[in-house]
Structure formats: structure tokens, C-alpha cells
Amino acid sequence: MAKRISVGKRLAEDMAAKRGIDALFSDTPVYHSTSTPVKTKFAKGTFYFDPDDLLLLEKVWLDLMVQGIKCNKSEIVSVLLREGLSGHEKDPENSPLTQRLTGKRRRT
């Protein structure tokens, strides 16, 4: 008797073989995105935000949804964090991060 295959694995194999709904339409070419894929895997982290910043994040998220851009708040924070950190790497003396945190107590 053959070993049982999990439902998830069977579905994954079916979808890989059939290419989803595109397999139903043989004359329709399979669409492959030319843009860079968005990473959807996130590592869990716990951060605390200013309530005003969370309100701004909610407004930006809703604005993007109105524009038809399907995303979630984690993706928005990830993009903004990456942009801010790369800007700091390029010019640490004049980065918004340095300017915002200048004057705060430093660890000793």
C-alpha cells in the first residue's frame, strides 16, 4: 500500500501541474509578472509606535487601498523601514534618523 500524501501536498502538486485557472484556457498565455516580486514572508517582531504614527499608517494604508494597491500595514512598514535604513547607510550624518534622534540620551 502506498504512503498517504497530505491534502496540502496534493493541492500544491495539482496547482503546479495545472497552473491554476490558466490551465482552463488553453489559448490564453500564462501571465508572468515582470516586476520584482513582493516578499510576503515576514519575521515576527514587537515594536512600540507613537499613536499618531499608527494613525498616519492607517491613513496611508487606506489611501493605497483606494488607489487599488492591495497591501497590508506590515508591507508598508517594511518598505518605509528599508528606505529609511538605506538612506541612513548612504549619508548617516544627514539622515532623518540621525536628525530625529540627535539630542536623545545615549547609552554609556
pLDDT digits (tens, 9 = 90+) for 61-78: 999 999 999 999 999 999
Please tell me the predicted confidence (pLDDT) of residue 40.
64
In a domain, 5, yes or no: no
Q: What is the pTM of this model?
A: 0.56
| Contact (CB, 8 A) for 61 and 71 | yes
Residue for cell digits 500595514?
Answer: 73
The total domain count for the chain is 1
Is residue 67 included in any domain, yes or no? yes
83 part of a folded domain: yes
Residue 24 domain-assigned?
no
Residue 12 lies in a domain: no
Type of residue numbered 95:
S
Phi-psi region of 57 (alpha: psi -120 to 50; beta: other; left: phi over 0): alpha
Residue 45 located in a structural domain:
yes
pLDDT at 28: 47
Residue 44 lies in a domain: yes
| Intervals of the chain under pLDDT 70 | 1, 11-40, 105-108
Residues 44/33, Cβ–Cβ less than 8 Å: no
**Structural domain harbouring 60:** 33-101
